[in-house]
Amino acid sequence: MTQTRRGADAANPLADFMITSEPYFRPVGREIELYEAAYKARMPIMLKGPTGCGKTRFVEHMAWRLGKPLITVSCHEDMTASDLVGRYLLDAGGTVWHDGPLTLAVRYGAICYLDEIVEARQDTTVVIHSLTDDRRILPLEKKNEVVRAHPDFQVVISYNPGYQSVLKDLKESTKQRFGAIAFSYPSSNVEAEIVMREAGVDRRVADTLVRIAERSRNLRGQGLEEGASTRMLVNAGLLVAGGIPIEEASQVAMVVPITDDPDLREALTGAIAACI
Amino acid sequence: MTGLKTEFPADWHDRWREAHQRIDHAGYGELVASAYRKCGPVLAGRVGPDFAVRLGRTVSTVAIKSGRRAALVLIEAAWEISGLATDSAQTRSWLDAVDSVARQAPDALSAMLSNTTRIVRELGFDGFQTFVRMGLALSLDDRGRRRAFFALESGEARQALEYRSGSQSLSEKIPQLKHYYTALWGFSPPVAAAPADAPEPMRRRAGFGGGGIRLPVAFAGFTDTDQKALYRAALAHIGAHHRYSREKFAAKGLKPLQIALVSLIEDARVERLATAAMPGLQSLWGRFHIARAEGAPIAINLMARLSRALNDPSYSDSHGWVEKGCSLFSEAMSTDITDQLLSRRIGGLLGNDLGQMRLQFDAKTYVVQPAYRDDNLALWDFGEEQENAIEIEAMAEGARIDKRDEADGRREEGAGEEEKAGKLSEARPDEGVIVARYHEYDYVTGSLRPNWCTVREVSGKLASEKSLAALRDSRSDVVERITALINASRVSRQERTRRQPEGEFLDTDAAISAMIAFRNGEAPDTRIYGRYERRSRDMSVLVLIDASYSTNDLVREGGKSVLSTEKLAGAFLARAMAGLGDPFAMAAFCSDTREDVRYLRIKDFQSPFNDYSLARLAGLEGALSTRLGAVIRHAGQEIAGQSTYRRLVLVITDGEPSDVDVEDKRFLVEDARAAVHELNREGIDVFGVLLDSEAESYASRIFGKRNSVLIGSAEKLPEALPLIYLRLAR
């Protein structure tokens, strides 16, 4: 969002990944101090928390604060180790090695953020093992090269405990390499502040939206996997700021996306009416 | 004989004469005879001569079975019905239904006839037939209940009427209302309809207490849309009590009027508090405050006006008493709104004032206004005379007979997971816990009977160590074969495999790296294809074991009883699946009428398969009947929560559904078939494993030819299994 793109600079291949303006982040606890201390030690960090509570925003904010480039990789099931590390590609002259995002970060010193790491297969995630202990190296087997990590390099992963299942969990050996910072939805006052700031709505609208979110979070585990996240609230706020009545905005941003069960929808609709 | 010429076609004259003469001379009295003579031509004109003539036969049947009065009522009813019917098939079906009631339940006929127009109006002629069949099937030997049903006095009848008349019945709304309550208040107490035999006031207003919430089946005099809002308003209001009414008031020494007024103020207080948190509730409640500043100054009128004044700031009322109530209230609000005692104080004062005004208040007929408010019984501590508190017959949802591990590996009976709000009224252990009600399919009318079957979860007997060991240790070679069979089966979503020597698509990554190797002068890897295949087994299985009386029959081969074969087959399957780590559950079932369908958990999906489950399996005894449909529906609910690729309900049975309260053999077969189809629509497969016995088998009708297999003994199970898994690997 706040990342601006300039032409890639040969001298500084990470220029594109610098964050130039401050991403808004409202600290709830001591997460900034914790992160700074962890970064000083280059300790790998795991951000845990429900979807849409600000994990990604936090990393962006910290990268900006520390003045380091940030390389984000959204993990998915089909991702292979070479998607992270890099591969040989063909061009007119023959074969060329292309660094993957992880190698790029290791070589030139960036914070590498692996978003939703549990989505990737476990055999893919083990490539970070040699980077997350005291070796701090990345062997590139195909190229017969060992990349030693740049002093600025750090790994950050995010992780949603709500999705945990036998199939989608981190290996114990992966988990144990990380320090973890837990995130949750902020208290209603702080959340309203965030919605006001991010969506540009007034206090009254923000308060109402937060009340609605609390209602939907009450249904967590009672039919809903997750209640409405802060991100959804901001979305609803943006719709309201765009002239949509709050009831409709809540439907569009906070009810219809999260459930297809007609009973739950009805119940949520009623709960929204109760909050306005 | 007026109208004879015009109303009856010439070729019907003789038949009509014959019909009414038979009635004339049968000795049912002149009243009946003349009514029939007068009515006949009119009916013939309205719906055709055959109806008029045919009515004669029914009049005879009714007069003989239920008496002359009933015959007279019949003729009147026929008159009204003829105005509603649009074709002769409808009137014919109506007469058939009357005939069957006259023959099977003559004592209930008059009641049914006097309600017939109402029922037909609400349900239509097809619905009427279903209704009559429901009434007759109700309970074969409980006449009082049947009569109450046809007189529309029982809860079941009312439910059937509401269910049919298009609007959603309360039981259908409850899941949604529960979510609504949870969303608002953050916890979920059980919610149930007020029992049909509860006293009148409790059937008119919502209430709470005993950890649950009771809702009236309907709010009389409100439209469908209003009903929905009323239920929501009632739940929002009760939630406000749960949250903000911390203690019960002591009723001792207070007059009924004072109790009503303290309740009224407390209602307003909790609503005020709730509105502060959720402002939208104000308008939800406000729309039902319709009292106006006019009308006779009687107590209930003034109370309704005060309620409105306290709810609605824009409402003004100049009555001194109402004004006083408002000012007392707002004064107290501004000091400390959370002080529950203020309600007691203000209510008491206002009660004294009303008393001095000498206004009438009849506590017996008083119902709380507006309609969404609860009856406030739960707010009060009546001391010794606690007779008012009736127990809520709530379904023990999510509650189950649970076992906890003891140190020695054996487990002990324990109460189920109770909802946070408090304990449900628990049934005695031998009766089991009511866990669900299901509809049943009536094939004759092609319609559903709502909430017809009650499923209870019961705890079974545990078998002795010896019989247990027999199941545990027997024939491990069969178990091994089953394990190998299941292990070899592939039931899962298709996955993309890469780097294959052959396949249906080109694996681009592999192709590129082959090309690179080629150019680098290395030997390329030729596995450059990919294909889609099922690689794993992603399936959960729920095994249902028939434990009805007929399973005591012998299996044709080997001379063992069906039940012991079932146990053995169950044990084989369970041992194999437990060894493989496949998610599976096991339960047994039997039934004793529609009100007592028993479901016995042997193993849950979450729990391990151990000696305890085996002991329960070995302890099964064949008793009672088989109401297969309800059990299949319950199993469907059970397995619906599994998130595997395929879900299979495997029914091991002798294939003959029956129950003591159903005479028609086909009825339960068709219901079970309907239940199987319902599950299929949910994406759940139902498969029948039939044991070849003396019992008549309807398996292929119920499960479909392709979805049932017949085996002669448990050892033959391995031969049947590949069939099942093959079908699922589609």
> In this predicted model, what pLDDT tens digit does every residue of B319-335 receive, in sequence order?
889 999 999 999 888 88
Q: Mean pLDDT throughout B700-718?
A: 80
Which of B171, B174, B224, B278 has the highest number of chain A CBs within 10 A, making it the mutation to test binding with A?
A: B278
Nearest chain B residue to A94, by CA = B519
- B-chain CB neighbours of A219 within 8 Å are 179, 182-183
A268-272, B291-295, B402-406: segment of lowest average pLDDT: B402-406
Q: Number of residue pairs across A and B with CB atoms under 8 Å?
A: 72
pLDDT for A59? 96
pLDDT for B164? 52
Name the residue ranges covered by the structural domains of chain A: 15-182, 188-275
**CA–CA distances in Å: residue A137 to residues A124, A145, A151, A178:** 16, 10, 11, 16
Higher pLDDT, A201 or B516: A201
The CATH code that applies to domain A15-182 is 3.40.50.300
Higher pLDDT, B568 or A231: A231
pLDDT tens-place string over residues B635-681: 998 898 888 888 889 898 887 888 888 888 888 889 999 999 999 88
Please indicate whether, in this complex, the C-beta atoms of A215 and B183 are within 8 angstroms of each other.
Answer: yes
Element containing residue B299 per DSSP (H, E)? helix B299-311
**Sign of the Cα pseudo-torsion (B3, B7, B10, B15, in order):** negative
Q: Is the pLDDT of residue B435 over 50?
A: yes
pLDDT for B26? 82
A59 vs A45: CA distance, rounded Å: 10
Residue holding tokens 């594109």?
A16
CA distance between the termini of chain A: 31
Q: Mean pLDDT throughout A153-181?
A: 81
Q: Mean pLDDT throughout B16-40?
A: 85
B71-80, B107-116, B203-212: segment of lowest average pLDDT: B203-212
Please indicate whether, in this complex, the C-beta atoms of B236 and A95 are within 8 angstroms of each other.
Answer: no
- B-chain CB neighbours of A268 within 8 Å are 179, 183
Residue B370, preceding bond cis, omega within 30 degrees?
yes
Q: Which amino acid type is present at position B18?
A: E
Which of B172, B179, B606 has the highest number of chain A CBs within 10 A, making it the mutation to test binding with A?
A: B179
Show Cβ contacts of residue B244 under 8 Å, excluding neighbours closer than 6 positions. Answer: B269, B270, B273, B274, B338, B340
What b/e string do you get for B73-100 counting C-beta neighbours within 10 Å, with b at 16 or more?
Answer: bbbebbbebbebbeeeebbbbbbebbbe
Q: Is the pLDDT of residue A132 over 90?
A: yes
B179-183, B252-256, B272-276, B460-464: segment of lowest average pLDDT: B460-464
Stated length of chain A: 276
β-bridge partners, B711 = B691
Q: Mean pLDDT throughout B34-53?
A: 84
Stated length of chain B: 730
pLDDT for B196? 65
Please indicate whether, in this complex, the C-beta atoms of A218 and B182 are within 8 angstroms of each other.
Answer: yes
Averaged pLDDT of chain B: 80
Q: Is the pLDDT of residue A261 over 50?
A: yes
pLDDT for B607? 84
β-bridge partners, A46 = A157, A180
Q: Is the pLDDT of residue B387 over 50?
A: no
Q: Mean pLDDT throughout B418-440?
A: 54
Please indicate whether, in this complex, the C-beta atoms of A274 and B513 are within 8 angstroms of each other.
Answer: no
pLDDT for B3? 46
On the 0-12 / 13-18 / 19+ scale of CB atoms within 10 A, B655 is buried
pLDDT for A3? 43
Chain A interface includes B235 (CB < 8 A): no
- In chain B, the percentage of residues whose pLDDT exceeds 70 is 90
- B-chain CB neighbours of A100 within 8 Å are none
Q: Is the pLDDT of residue A36 over 90?
A: yes
CA distance A211 to chain B (A): 8
Beta strands (DSSP E) in B157-211 are 191-193, 207-209
- A-chain CB neighbours of B281 within 8 Å are 274
Nearest chain B residue to A215, by CA = B183
**CA–CA distances in Å: residue B580 to residues A21, B540, B689:** 55, 12, 21
pLDDT-derived band at B135, boundaries 50, 70, 90: confident
pLDDT-derived band at B449, boundaries 50, 70, 90: confident
Please indicate whether, in this complex, the C-beta atoms of B183 and A271 are within 8 angstroms of each other.
Answer: yes
pLDDT for A200? 93
A238 vs A227: CA distance, rounded Å: 19
**DSSP per residue, B27-45:** TS-HHHHHHHHHHHHHHHH
Contact A196, A206 (CB under 8 A): yes
B620 vs B551: CA distance, rounded Å: 11
pLDDT-derived band at A105, boundaries 50, 70, 90: very high
pLDDT for B557? 73
Higher pLDDT, A38 or B201: A38
By DSSP bridging, strand B495-500 and strand A145-148 are unpaired
- A-chain CB neighbours of B175 within 8 Å are 263
Higher pLDDT, B641 or B289: B289
B359 vs B299: CA distance, rounded Å: 6
B191 vs B172: CA distance, rounded Å: 12
Q: Phi, psi at residue A126, to the nearest 5°?
A: -70, -15
Please indicate whether, in this complex, the C-beta atoms of A274 and B236 are within 8 angstroms of each other.
Answer: yes
Domains and CATH numbers, chain B: 4-164 (no CATH), 170-388 (no CATH), 465-488+537-728 (3.40.50.410), 495-533 (no CATH)
- A-chain CB neighbours of B236 within 8 Å are 274
- B-chain CB neighbours of A143 within 8 Å are none
Query: What number of other Cβ atoms are within 10 A of residue B640's Cβ?
Result: 13
Chain A interface includes B184 (CB < 8 A): yes
CA distance B512 to chain A (A): 7
B570 vs B617: CA distance, rounded Å: 8
Please indicate whether, in this complex, the C-beta atoms of B180 and A272 are within 8 angstroms of each other.
Answer: no
pLDDT tens-place string over residues A200-253: 999 999 999 999 999 999 988 777 888 899 999 999 999 999 999 999 999 999
By DSSP bridging, strand B447-458 and strand B597-603 are parallel
User: Angle at the Cα of A44 (from A39 to A46), degrees rounded to 5?
Assistant: 110
Tokens of A248: 């409709």
pLDDT-derived band at B517, boundaries 50, 70, 90: confident
A203 vs A192: CA distance, rounded Å: 7
- B-chain CB neighbours of A262 within 8 Å are 176
Q: Is the pLDDT of residue A149 over 80?
A: yes
Beta strands (DSSP E) in A144-275 are 145-148, 154-159, 179-182
pLDDT-derived band at B391, boundaries 50, 70, 90: very low
Tokens of B552: 């005591």
